């Protein structure tokens, strides 16, 4: 197994080099890049559909949507008419990597956008190891998945900056405790922020939009400070 | 990336050798070994808790429960008082492999059991590539995850023999169509069997228990034919 670990390290190191270039490019173009990670079916695409519809007049937005197979998510996003949407089919790979991102970004005009959402493959393990040059990871968990997930998949929650709990309209039907999931998450990452939403009813989405506005504003302020 | 693929193949080939030995051992001991795979939070543990409680008097049962971190699942299973329960913490790995299984099985008396459930790490991608010597894979999907999952994660559904749709008590609140998920699944695997259940209300679980009884009976019949 030792040789495998060595090769894995080399691949990650190649990935990190490209991710570093991407991060610099996002900084130069003042683009807020967010890497959205979650289990399959927790609602990443639903969240983005709502977000594109709500904020398309306010911000320039692009989405790179990764899936093992199909372009279903990208198609749903395109129907909002709300941004530049690119699909990556990983063809079996369990995560996006920086090289896939670099390729997808060729077709996106970064000068036209304020926010780049990267919708990663639905997987709570592997995507946590691959830096895509993003500013932050946002982990989405849904009330139907159980409040123990931060303890069971600590790597993902440790590397994320914001945790969005989706499907709070279904919480009564699930054995899911909002306080417990938060305390479990804090155990692995005590600087994590939290927002609770329902993409179905719209509850809480304003908090998410405000969080995005704050991040975009802070990014532009940083750039102004640097140039001033 | 070529060297990585080569090493990956070598690792899989090592895995397959051990899996072959395990498969032979399960056959010799007349043990029905089922590899349960799904997204995080789709209900593998809930299904096993119900199954252990219902069938512990009828069959000898063992469970090997895999998790990235924590022994939470194994603990929930032990509370049923229904079988030999062993936990594997993969410590970051996104799947169980045959070597981990071999190690866990040292502590299980296969002569005492009829059914071995392997509860894999919650992940719809990577566990599909690792043979654990099981007789079949059983893929669990929940109505809260969306009916497009068989198309988005085809490898897992192609390699499974039975698809259990869990949380059917929540179907009214989800945009999930039972006919559609079935036709999507058949597209990638036309010999897949289907059972719909709710681990919360108990609906449909009898069909799952009957399916298990049929598999155990068929396994014993095969052995009798061979010795006869």
Of A63, A71, A60, A23, the closest CA to residue A47 belongs to A63
Supply B123's token pair. Answer: 């992940």
Task: Say if domain A2-217 classifies as CATH 3.30.465.10.
Answer: no
| A40:B39 CB<8 A | yes
Give the residue carrying structure tokens 């019949």.
B221
DSSP state for residue A120 in the 8-state scheme = -
Report the candidate in A54, A77, A82 with the shortest Cα–Cα distance to residue A67: A77
Question: Distance between CA A193 and CA B29 in Å, rounded?
Answer: 51
User: Measured between CB atoms, which of B68, B148, B154 is closest to A125?
Assistant: B68
CA distance A76 to chain B (A): 12
Query: What pLDDT is recorded for position A49?
Result: 97
- The closest alpha carbon to B26, from B125, B130, B133, B131, belongs to B133
Instruction: Indicate whether A228 pLDDT > 50.
Output: no
pLDDT mean over A178-184: 98
Contacts of A146 in chain B (CB under 8 A): 40-41
Chain A positions touching B92 (Cβ under 8 A) are: 125, 155
Give the three-class secondary structure for A221. helix
Contact list, B70 vs chain A (CB under 8 Å): 148, 151-152
A8 versus A94: which is more confidently predicted?
Answer: A94
**Cβ proximity of B156 and B185 under 8 Å:** no
Q: Is the pLDDT of residue A1 over 80?
A: no
Domain residue spans of chain A = 2-217
Q: What is the pLDDT of residue B3?
A: 62
Which region among A23-37, A211-225, B10-24, B201-215 has the lowest average model confidence (pLDDT)? A211-225
**With bands split at pLDDT 50, 70 and 90, how would you rate the model's confidence at B2?**
low
Q: Rounded CA gap, B203 and B207, in Å?
A: 9
Pair B96, B90: CB distance under 8 Å: yes
pLDDT above 90: percentage of residues in chain A: 89
How far, in Å, CA of A179 to CA of A194, rounded? 11
* Cα dihedral B168→B172→B176→B179 (10° resolution): 70
Other beta carbons less than 10 A from residue A110's beta carbon: 17
Q: Where does the pLDDT of residue A12 fall: very low under 50, low under 70, confident under 90, or very high at 90 and above? A: confident
- Specify the 3-state DSSP secondary structure of B36: strand
Q: Which two tokens stand for residue B144?
A: 């809260």
Asked if ipTM goes beyond 0.90, one says no
Among residues A115, A103, A53, A43, which one has the least CA distance to residue A78? A53
Q: A116: pLDDT confidence band, cut at 50, 70 and 90?
A: very high
In sequence order, which residues have a C-beta less than 8 Å from that of residue A25 and are 6 or more positions away? A31, A105, A110, A133
CB within 8 Å of chain B, chain A residues 162-181: 167, 169-170, 173
pLDDT in tens, A14-70: 999 999 999 999 999 999 999 999 999 999 999 999 999 999 999 999 999 999 999
Which two structure tokens, joined as six digits, stand for B198? 């709710």
Q: Which residues of B touch A145 (CB under 8 A)?
A: 39-41
Q: Are B23 and B34 in contact (CB under 8 A)?
A: no
Task: Return all residues near B217 (Cβ < 8 A) that are at least 6 apart.
Answer: none
Q: What is the pLDDT of residue B228?
A: 40
Residue B12 banded pLDDT, cuts 50, 70, 90: confident
Query: CB-CB: which of B93, B149, B170 is closest to A40?
Result: B149
| A169/A200 Cα distance (integer angstroms) | 8
Beta pairing class for B32-38 and B61-67: unpaired
Helices (H), B29-148: 44-55, 72-78, 98-105
Determine whether the interchain pair B69/A11 forms a contact, defined as Cβ–Cβ distance below 8 Å. Answer: no
User: pTM (2 decimals)?
Assistant: 0.92
Alpha helices in B166-204 (DSSP H): 178-188
Q: Is A173 helix (H, G, I), strand (E, B) or coil?
A: helix
| Low-confidence winner among A2-6, A63-67, A94-98, B29-33 (lowest mean pLDDT) | A2-6
**pLDDT digits 0-9 by tens, A151-167:** 999 999 999 999 999 99
State phi, psi for A131 to the nearest 5 degrees: -70, 130
């Amino acid at each position: 197994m030792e040789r495998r670990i060595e090769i894995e390290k080399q691949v990650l190191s190649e990935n990190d080099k490209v991710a570093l270039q991407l991060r610099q490019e996002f900084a130069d173009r003042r683009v807020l890049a967010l890497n959205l990670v979650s289990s399959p079916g927790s609602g990443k695409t639903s969240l983005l559909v709502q977000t594109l519809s709500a904020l398309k007049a306010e911000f320039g937005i692009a989405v790179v949507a990764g899936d093992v197979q199909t372009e279903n998510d990208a198609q749903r996003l395109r129907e909002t008419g709300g941004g530049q949407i690119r699909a990556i089919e990983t063809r079996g790979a369990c995560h996006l990597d920086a090289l896939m991102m670099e390729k997808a970004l060729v077709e996106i005009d970064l000068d036209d956008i304020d926010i780049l959402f990267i919708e990663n493959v639905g997987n709570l393990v592997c995507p946590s190891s691959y830096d895509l040059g993003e500013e932050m990871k946002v982990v989405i968990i849904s009330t139907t998945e159980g409040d123990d997930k931060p303890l069971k998949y600590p790597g993902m929650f440790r590397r994320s900056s914001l945790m969005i709990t989706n499907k709070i309209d279904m919480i009564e039907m699930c054995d899911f405790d909002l306080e417990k999931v938060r305390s479990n998450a804090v155990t692995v990452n005590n600087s994590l922020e939290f927002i609770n939403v329902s993409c179905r009813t719209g509850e809480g989405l304003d908090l998410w939009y405000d969080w995005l506005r704050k991040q975009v504003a802070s990014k532009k302020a940083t750039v102004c400070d640097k140039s001033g």
